[in-house]
Structure 1
Amino acid sequence: MDCPKCDCDTGKKIDDPIINNLELFDNLKEKETELTLDSELILYEENTNFAHLSADLRSFFEDKIQLRKENSNDIEWFNSLEKFFRYIIDCRIIRVQEWFKQNTIRFPQDNNEIVIARYALEQEISKLTLLWTLCGMICHFCSLRCLKNRDYEDDHNCLTDHKCQLTCQFTEAHASNLPIPICSHKAGHEEKHACSEANHLCRKLCYLNEKRNCQNFCVKEIRHEGDNHLCQSTKHYCGDSCSFKTHTDKGGFQCPNKCIIPHEEEHTRHKCENDTCPIQCPIKDC
């Protein structure tokens, strides 16, 4: 959806207000910046995947508002990014609707062509809104939130290098005159941050390493009792394919997600973290 900039008859520009991020984010008082103009953004391109399309906006958000790697609460960061995207999309929708209003106001609103055009506009708005709806499920490669949009078939991906970027919390084990090393765990992990430059932990392979959400390496003390090596993850998910499947107009549908029921809970039906229907509306152009 291209961004309309003016009334075609008068040449008057459609308002494109600049707002401060503090007006949008109550929790980001420390970093004040003006948000980017909607009219300068490309929000839709044919045959362009969403990760590429959203890259500039994600970079703007991290550079000007909040870096993901500096936030220990990824859900909070994800919610802020989602709010930012929603604001940008809402700005575009308001501008498009205002452009349509200004350029059709001289015509009878029940005119057949106007009605058809208004319906087409509503469909485009729905498509744009859906396109910019983030997935938000757990990344397949770490524990951060997926930043792809909702309707895709590949693995969930947070679009990072999947490595924790925070510093080791075992500071007493490191020289005070040297920088504290970076944590060696996967991004979004639970419990303490620990590097691989010193022997803080056992680090042998977790006995549940084949389960989803496993952090792979044992975080018990070195030379701990027993052979039951366990990572710091408080929940190891079943990880089998979700049981949801049905038949649609396009054929059979099998949910591509994995079961998030804790592995120790007995269950015969596997359930993923998606609580909404994953099947697209069958009505054409919806």
Structure 2
Amino acid sequence: MNAPFQSPEPSQSGKPGLSLLIAAPRGFCAGVDRAIDIVERALDKYGAPVYVRHEIVHNKYVVDALREKGAIFVEELDEVPDGVPVVFSAHGVPKSVPAEADRRQLLYVDATCPLVSKVHRQAERQIEKDRHIVFIGHAGHPEVVGTMGQVEAGQMTLVETVEDVAALPFGADDKLAYLTQTTLSVDDTAEIIAALEARYPEIAGPKAEDICYATSNRQAAVKRIAPGSDLVLVIGATNSSNSLRLVEVAERLGTKAKLIQRADDIDPAWLEGVGTIGLTAGASAPELLVREVVEKLGEWREVQENTIAAAEENMVFKLPRQLMD
């Protein structure tokens, strides 16, 4: 159990003290590490340019760094010229995308996170069992688009809230299954699943939770740092689902939280009356950005760093065979 922290006393520099509670785990997950490695290895193997359909991960710093190395990011496959390699992002793509790549004889590498691919396989198995799938996720998110694109139109229905469950048109005799996006709020998803199971007692669910280990662990870590913090800073992109969920977790515990992309986003006024800051990073944010924030806070305050661990992570995913030689 962690001892309570007190804000450090002002140093000889005259700066007021700041206790910084840094969440662990934070930042890159195994799926993000793998996806970035895939783009870098593709550049090494095939040479620039390598096209990437959608941002490889939702982080501007990462995308810009890969762009400088020769990656070209596009939203749709029709923006990729013939004869160049293309990488599919970690979020996954509908089946129609690799099918079109095959039709055009494009060389493609699939960087879909293996945990997302697992959900895709589950969707196929449920359809084989003649079940309609209720998919819990956020409309328009690329992972949701990719997962819903694994089945035929009309075989999967998206729900985002408990209220959506109440509005579902299915009867008690309908064969149903549910699956979830991997980057959702653990608590919200549990409530939605409970509502589904209450309304449809025979609904089939996955044997193991679809929300990925990294999402769950990062939310658990925020639950450890938020109660003792006056402010929680979450490093992540505005289109990063798992980062947005970290902000929500802190706010639900009654702690003010801010989503930032870089240290320069911090407004010094946020520190007024603040003695303790919690700091974490979404699964697409590199550790370099965490250290950047610590250094920026150090310009204004005498910072005392304290790491608060909720879990240990040692997950590693294999690379595609075509990049292993």
Greater share of helix residues, 1 or 2? 2
Structure with more contact order per residue of length (Cα contacts < 8 Å, sep ≥ 6) = 2
Q: TM-score range by the shorter chain?
A: under 0.3
TM-score of the two chains, using structure 1 as the length reference: 0.24
Greater share of strand residues, 1 or 2? 2
